[in-house]
Structure 1
């Protein structure tokens, strides 16, 4: 029985980098023989997970499933996971495992010393303590996402006042922060390019890991870059660090972003659930051939 895919690909959603990724991944999954079922992006119309998965038949035996979509709320992930399980479909990450890799403040205690020192802010009154302990400047992001698409100034605080302003802006963006702001010691990654908004495109790689095996690895940013290609020894260091982080996280399916500092040291940038992570420049055919092997191995085929 082939891997089952829940996809949020839709022509009704406005074009974006995420929507393009979701469509491309869905097409590759179909091409390789996965059974694809489309589900709505939220519960606005269908109202419940039961309605969202109504058209999917109950499986005769437990079947592995992968969700391809936009980052869901914790409540939505749990609802879809449980309804899928009721139909004998087991997503690769449980709700708890999903949150462990998707929300940085949950992942951080597990990857200490692999990533820049960070603190969590839930109230602006905590900003002074954060500055006292971490110093300035600071990289500021929500526990789920940053605002790097808006440029360097939307992510970096050089003063206490700027930290308070950026934190308040992120607190107002529930989908990015979920009420928690992450302030991190600012580090400088090797780079030669920047976005039009002034955000440096660091030498960074996204690694997908399933059960301590790398199933996909690719340069993080779009386009060509003089620093993109890894030497054999560099690739080994990236993979080793990603596997170390994945082992500490103790989550079956994880996305680990690895970046290189100006002094050439490698660090973990952040983590995520690959079901909702952009594929960056990871070769899709290679990735999904590995995902299909997961299905066969777990089912004893």
Structure 2
């Protein structure tokens, strides 16, 4: 749900004397990664943001990032012919053409602005990356779950990193972690806990049981 729709939803509920656990400002703060980036920048990929429909200088981006990926404030384009990343081989005219496609593919879901993130290689085990999603409720870790179909034998994110950012300004949010090829770990996404999906179906019952126990 786009932040402006969530804000309208909150207002309608208040008119009926119902109140959301996550207010609209907290929702926007965690739903849009650019708002979290200044806090976690030491533990995530370098990033720059641009207003929508800005013509970005691809040579400048190549000089800054080398390889880079494109997303809006919430999502990238997946399941299409849009490149996973761009590198030194892309020309300005080619990049401009891909950006036109980006706006078409995101359509009505386009949110906020454009994020350019440095593309980093993730470690793989038997073809699967090692990614996890952590749900935090009232600034405590509620549950950690696998999010890339990796084996149970894969290592978890470091305890210190999981707990380092649990006191972000929202009562219910998620952080996604990924292991890099050099075995270090980074945060790759943030999200509102209400709209972030359960990434490990085997933990669905546990997730809702723990959420119930928190309330």
Do the two structures share a fold, i.e. TM-score over 0.5? yes
Runs of 4+ in 1 over 6 A off after TM superposition: none
What is the aligned counterpart of 1:258 among 165, 177, 184? 177
SS at match of 2:175: strand
**Is the Cα contact below 8 Å between 2:73 and 2:115 reproduced in 1?**
yes
Shift of 1:179: 5.0
Shift of 1:165: 3.4
What is the aligned counterpart of 2:137 among 197, 210, 215? 210
Confirm whether residue 114 of structure 1 aligns to residue 33 of structure 2: no
Structure 1 residues 192 and 211 mapped into 2: Cα distance closer, same or farther (>3 Å)? Answer: same
TM-score, structure 1 as length reference: 0.62
SS at match of 1:262: coil
Confirm whether residue 220 of structure 1 aligns to residue 147 of structure 2: yes
**Is the Cα contact below 8 Å between 1:171 and 1:179 reproduced in 2?**
no
Asked which structure has the greater CA Rg, the reply is: 1
Measure, in 1, the Cα distance between the counterparts of 2:122 and 2:17: 44
Cα RMSD, aligned residues only: 2.4
Measure, in 2, the Cα distance between the counterparts of 1:264 and 1:148: 25
Match of 2:192? 273
Structure 1: where are the runs of 5+ without partners?
A: 1-71, 195-200, 296-301
1:232-278 Cα deviation digits (max 9, x unpaired):
xx45x1x432332332x321111100000011101000111121111
Measure, in 1, the Cα distance between the counterparts of 2:34 and 2:57: 16
**Is the Cα contact below 8 Å between 1:74 and 1:95 reproduced in 2?**
yes
Shift of 1:150: 2.7
Match of 2:209? 289
Structure 2: where are the runs of 5+ without partners?
A: none
Shift of 1:145: 0.9
